[in-house]
Amino acid sequence: MEYKSQKVAYPYFVIALFLFLLQVLFGLWLAINYFFTLPQGLVNVFPFATARAIHTNLLVLWMLLGFMGGTYFLLPDETKREIYSPGLAYFQLVLLVVTGVVALVGFVFGWTQGRPLLEIPRPLDFAVVIGALIFLFNVGMTMLKGKNWTVIQGTLLAGLIVLALLYLFGIPFYHNLSVDWYYWWWVIHLWVEGAWEMITAAIIAWILLKITGVPREVVEKWLYVELGLFLFTGIAGIGHHYYWLGAPKYWLYVGGIFSGLEPVPIILMLIDTFKHVKHRQLEIKNPLVWTYAVGCAVFHLLGAGVFGFVHTLPMINYYTHGSQVTAAHGHMAFFGAYALLNLTVFYYAIPKLKGIEFFKESLGRVGFWIMVIAMTGMGLAFGVAGVLQTYLERVMGLGYMTAQGEMRFWFKIVFSFGLIFLSGVIITIYDLLTLKPSVKREG
């Protein structure tokens, strides 16, 4: 670690990891609901919807904290100066975590705005906005004072600003529900298929730069192409969510065509990463981080590109909309693109924060493979449940509960893979928090 202020990233990482674990525990609880009839008394006080809100909001919270911590770690290295105000960075962390905890406890008591992934009520939204503004101010000032402007910084800053601006669209409540969902998607879709992709592109470019030692121009040149394509396909691709909510019919075409093209930039990102594999002789300084970065690129393509593409065309989505096929894609995409991205950053940054040059990688590798294999199994099981559901309910026209009965078995498989996934998460967190130095480079 070259700059003292980089250490503000550490508490962000630790809290993010803890929330990740909690998120997974709630996921297991959700899965149980699908194959085990819980006592009504329990359902009355802790319904499925509450657990689901906790599961998905924890996801958003830990990933945002991870991105912020990652940004604070990367920033001094890119700008060649200390963070503008480490004090503000700590303050902002406390503010966001307290807001998050209040929101989660609030859900249990029914204090919610009701829109999936953005359930947190209005007053807390303002706390989030203040936290985001402090963050942007701190990042912006660091870059401004740094006078070492790079494409990576620009992309990252643009992604973070767009992320914050889009959040604002989720705050008002529109009485016309079609309008309300319309703007809800501005946050959700334009986040994960726009702003977050920009952040990912910038961070992956930086990590590749750091661990392969390739010249900066090589990674930055691709950033332009990928970004242009991400924005081109991602912005109009939002139409794949407007099919059935009351928006005009042309969205069927716009959404179908542009979201159909969305896998293209993701494929480019993968090709880009594999090009760096060829530069391996440049000596990969940290093989496990490398495994994570390649894993992220591959799983990003699988979860977002492949599992997204299969249900994105209107004639298919007509049948699969809102089924467990969606859940299959949601898990694979969020895990592949953003959970693995965060973990890539953690494995790069945490050893540096602890002053460890080389560390024992065996446990970290075990954690990686368990999580990747278990998530693949879970995604496929969700997918089979979804196809069954689609076929029984929407093609054969059988009742909702008849279809649910047939799906039970597959939720037991989801749960079993979920338990394996949990073990991978525990191993990974344990490993990250107790990294042991090794005398020489492994791998």
Judged by the rule CB under 5 A, the positions of this chain that interact with Fe ion are: 189
Asked whether position 422 contacts ligand HEM by CB under 6 A, the answer is: yes
35 binds ligand HEM (CB under 6 A): no
**Residue 116 touches which of Fe ion, ligand HEM, none (Cβ within 5-8 Å per kind):** ligand HEM
The residue with its CB nearest to Fe ion is 189
If binding is defined by CB under 6 A, does position 115 make contact with ligand HEM? no
Which position among 78, 119, 125, 193 is part of the footprint of ligand HEM (CB under 6 A)?
193
Of 414, 427, 429, 435, the one binding ligand HEM (CB under 6 A) is 414
* Of 103-111, 280-288, 329-337, 343-351: span binding ligand HEM (CB under 6 A): 329-337
Q: Check residue 240 for interaction with ligand HEM (CB under 6 A).
A: yes
Q: Pick the stretch among 2-10, 35-43, 72-80, 316-324 that binds ligand HEM (CB under 6 A).
A: 316-324
Closest-CA residue to 277 (of 211, 347, 206): 211
Q: Could you give the CA distance from residue 210 to residue 1 in angstroms, rounded to a whole number? A: 13
Q: Judging by beta carbons within 10 Å of its beta carbon (0-12, 13-18, 19+), is residue 39 exposed, middle or buried?
A: exposed
> Could you give the dihedral angle defined by the CA atoms of residues 189, 191, 192 and 196, in that order, rounded to the nearest 10 degrees?
160
Long-range contacts of 398-407 (CB under 8 A, 24+ apart): 404/34, 407/34, 407/324
CB 171, min distance to ligand HEM, A: 18
Among 87, 116, 405, 443, binds ligand HEM (CB under 6 A): 116
Does position 312 interact with ligand HEM (CB under 6 A)? The reply is yes
> Which class for 267: exposed (0-12), middle (13-18), buried (19 or more C-beta within 10 A)?
middle
Cα distance between residue 397 and residue 320, in whole Å: 13
The residue among 241, 203, 232 whose CA lies nearest residue 338 is 203
- Among residues 276, 279, 271, 278, the alpha carbon closest in space to that of 297 is found at 271
How many Cβ atoms from other residues are within 10 Å of residue 405's Cβ? Answer: 12
Q: % helix / strand / coil in the chain, to the nearest 5?
A: 80, 0, 20
Under rule CB under 6 A, which residues in 256-295 are in contact with ligand HEM?
259, 262-263
What's phi and psi for 389, nearest 5 deg?
-60, -50
Which of 416/438 has CB closer to ligand HEM?
416
Instruction: In angstroms, give the least distance from the CB of 332 to ligand HEM.
Output: 9
Nearer to ligand HEM, 84 or 346 (CB): 346
3-state secondary structure of 176: coil
Taking CB under 6 A as the criterion, the residue among 53, 152, 192, 227 binding ligand HEM is 192
What residues contact 110, with CB distance under 8 A and at least 6 apart? Answer: 50
Q: Are 116 and 95 in contact (CB under 8 A)?
A: no
Q: Using CB under 6 A, count the residues that bind ligand HEM.
A: 40
Query: Residue 322 is inside which H or E element, if any?
Result: none
Q: How many helices (H) and strands (E) does the chain have?
A: 18, 0
- Of 14 and 218, the one with the shorter C-beta distance to ligand HEM is 14
Nearest approach, Cβ of residue 203 and ligand HEM (Å): 14
CA 21 – CA 428 distance, rounded (Å): 10
Stretch that binds ligand HEM, among 80-88, 322-330, 355-363, 430-438 (CB under 6 A): 322-330
What are the helix (H) ranges across 357-439? 362-389, 400-433
Site string for ligand HEM, 346-385 (x = CB under 6 A): ----------------------------------------
Rounded to an integer, what distance in angstroms lies between the CA atom of residue 313 and that of residue 345? 34
CB nearer to Fe ion: give 189 or 311.
189
CA 27 to chain centre: 15
- Give the shortest CB-234-to-Fe ion separation in angstroms: 8
Among 6, 55, 125, 212, binds ligand HEM (CB under 6 A): 55
Binding segment for ligand HEM (CB under 6 A), chosen from 28-36, 170-178, 212-220, 430-438, is 28-36
Least CB distance to Fe ion at residue 189 (A): 4
Query: Which residue's CB is nearer to ligand HEM, number 99 or number 312?
Result: 312
Residue nearer to ligand HEM on the CB measure, 75 or 269: 269
Contacts of 116 (CB under 8 A, 6+ apart): 52, 53, 56
Q: Which residues sit at the interface with ligand HEM, rule CB under 6 A? A: 24, 27-28, 30-31, 52, 55-56, 59, 116, 192-193, 240-241, 259, 262-263, 304-305, 308-309, 311-312, 317, 321-322, 326-327, 329-331, 333-335, 337, 339, 414, 418, 421-422
